[in-house]
Amino acid sequence: MSNLLIACTTGTPLFVINESDYQDWLASQSDALKNWLSQTGYKGNGVAIMPNSDGSLAAALMVVKSASEHFACGDLINKLPSGQYALQTDAQNREAVAFGWLIGAYQFDRYKAGKSDFPVLAIDDADLVKSTLKQYQATALVRDLVNTPAADMMPQHLSQVSQQMADEFGAEFSEIVGDDLLEHNYPTIHAVGRASCHAPRLLDLHWGNEDAPKVTLVGKGVCFDSGGLDVKPAAGMRYMKKDMGGSAHVLGLARLIMAFGLNVRLRVLIPAVENAISGNALRPGDVVTTRKGLTVEIDNTDAEGRLVLCDALDEAMNDKPDMVIDFATLTGAMRVALGTELPGFFATNDATAQGITDAGLTIQDPVWRMPLHQPYADMLKSDVADMSNCATGPFGGAITAALYLQSFVEQGTDWCHFDIMAFNVRPLAGRPKGGEAFGVRAVFKHLQQKYG
């Protein structure tokens, strides 16, 4: 994608302006151009192509409601003829237009050829071009990982991606695989993943100055979720390749942190498993002793994400991090509460929650804080163990899942838990159906403001 956004000043003029500014812009144009727009029925919204008197391309116009909105130009690259265009817009809009331009070119083309004759956008700002490419690469990574079918995105494949990223940025990478998880005391990760022929593993990446503030990311890496013995219906299983979306999100976020060189000591922990069915699969009613020592009764084997996360979160506490952020495709209850396009999150620190929320609003990556309502923890009680892995009733499912995870986070820790969809169920400008990054840019902007 680096050839689709370049730093220079030459090209066909491309005007990107707000609807509210269109009439003033039009008044300053030639009579010939005004006549052309009138005769072609242009209504002051969307794309218009304007010719020279000899029929060659003179300029292009994009009028949007708000050019500072990051997806306003998400389809622009697909609506213009091939060629090179020089951006003409207000300075405060350039970052959003550049991001929308690039993200609109995203295609998941691993298994079939995609479009190749995209136009090129020239912007007179080399730093902006470099920054936008980094943002694009992180979002594309998340989308690619989520879109990849489970057959090609099992725990060992997530390991390969993590190792490649470590090599690229000079990070340290290690992993604990298979029965070694038991030897090193990660019993719930092993319990969920042991039924698969793809060995479960805990991926662990370290980067940055050891004396810098410690930021730890934890991502749910359930590469396919059959539901276990509490097997999902066919419709519920169809897109469970996306159940490793949490791991994709933390890898995308880690890529941004390392590419922009934030002053943090980064750690990324990914419990990577397949929740499969076989003779040694975890059963409803089983009791598992977690890494922390808490015993958990398995009420439902389809509530497996919190099981793999709880061991990883307990491991994260060993470093006494300044901030812990986890991402997980955890509950359908969150989708019922907020829909598929607004990710909910829980936080123990009010300032962090507000900072992430405010950051997301400025770049059209909205997130919504949900309550850690402590009385609901009673719903996780078990008659035979310290706690159950899920509540027996259908209500407040996202909250009880978050409260389960909070049991493995030390009191006083600045912790955020994102419960995400990781998937677009409808196409929108710059956001095709399929894998999507939710909250990654919002969290990064907050971290950049804090540690940049």
Three-state SS string over the chain comes to CCCCEEECCCCEEEEEEEHHHHHHHHHCCCHHHHHHHHHCCCCCCEEEEEECCCCCEEEEEEEECCCCCCCCCCCHHHCCCCCEEEEECCHHHHHHHHHHHHHCCCCCCCCCCCCCCCCEEEECCHHHHHHHHHHHHHHHHHHHHHHCCHHHCCHHHHHHHHHHHHHHHCCEEEEEECCHHHHCCCHHHHHHHCCCCCCCEEEEEEECCCCCCEEEEEECEEEEECCCCCCCCHHHHCCHHHHHHHHHHHHHHHHHHHHCCCCCEEEEEEEEEEECCCCCCCCCCCEEECCCCCEEECCCCCCCHHHHHHHHHHHHHHHCCCEEEEEECCCHHHHHHHCCCCCEEEECCHHHHHHHHHHHHHCCCCCEECCCCHHHHHHHCCCCCCEECCCCCCCCHHHHHHHHHHCCCCCCCCEEEEECCCEECCCECCECCEECCCCHHHHHHHHHHHHC
What pLDDT is attached to residue 2? 77
Distance CA 270, CA 203 (A): 5
Q: What is the CATH number of domain 136-451?
A: 3.40.630.10
- Strands 368-369 vs 265-275: parallel, antiparallel or unpaired: unpaired
Helix axes 440-451, 350-362, angle to 10 degrees: 110
- Cα-Cα-Cα-Cα torsion 327, 330, 333, 337, nearest 10 degrees, comes to 10
Distance CA 452, CA 446 (A): 9
Characterize 210-224 residue by residue with b for buried, 16 or more Cβ atoms within 10 angstroms of its Cβ, and e for exposed.
eeebbbbbbbbbbbb
Q: Hunting for tokens 């892995």 — which residue is that?
A: 389
Distance CA 88, CA 97 (A): 10
Q: Hunting for tokens 């808490």 — which residue is that?
A: 294
Both tokens of 33, joined, read 């151009």
Distance CA 22, CA 196 (A): 59
What pLDDT is attached to residue 421? 98
Q: State the maximum Cα–Cα separation within the chain, in Å, rounded to a whole number.
A: 84
pTM, to two decimals? 0.97
Q: Which of 48, 9, 8 shows the shortest CA–CA distance to 29?
A: 48
- Strands 201-207 vs 265-275: parallel, antiparallel or unpaired: antiparallel
**Residues contacting residue 41 through CB under 8 Å, at least 6 positions apart:** none
**Residues contacting residue 170 through CB under 8 Å, at least 6 positions apart:** 207
Which residues belong to the active site? 232, 306
Per residue in 137-176, pLDDT (tens digit) is: 999 999 999 999 999 999 999 999 999 999 999 999 999 9
What pLDDT is attached to residue 304? 98
CATH 3.40.220.10 fits domain 5-124: yes
Both tokens of 323, joined, read 């901030």
What pLDDT is attached to residue 394? 87
Share of the chain above pLDDT 90, in %: 97
Helix axes 126-147, 245-259, angle to 10 degrees: 160
Per-run averaged pLDDT (10 residues), the chain, 452 residues: 91 97 95 93 95 92 97 98 97 98 97 93 98 98 98 98 98 98 98 98 98 98 98 97 98 98 98 98 98 98 98 98 98 97 98 98 98 97 98 94 98 98 97 98 98 90
Q: Which residue ranges make up each domain of the chain? A: 5-124, 136-451
Checking 30-34 for CB contacts under 8 A at 24+ apart, the result is 33/58
Both tokens of 315, joined, read 């491991």
Phi and psi at 2, nearest 5°, equal: -65, -20
Cα–Cα distances (Å) from 353 to 121, 337, 358, 368, 443, in that order, read 36, 19, 9, 9, 10
Both tokens of 374, joined, read 């402590």
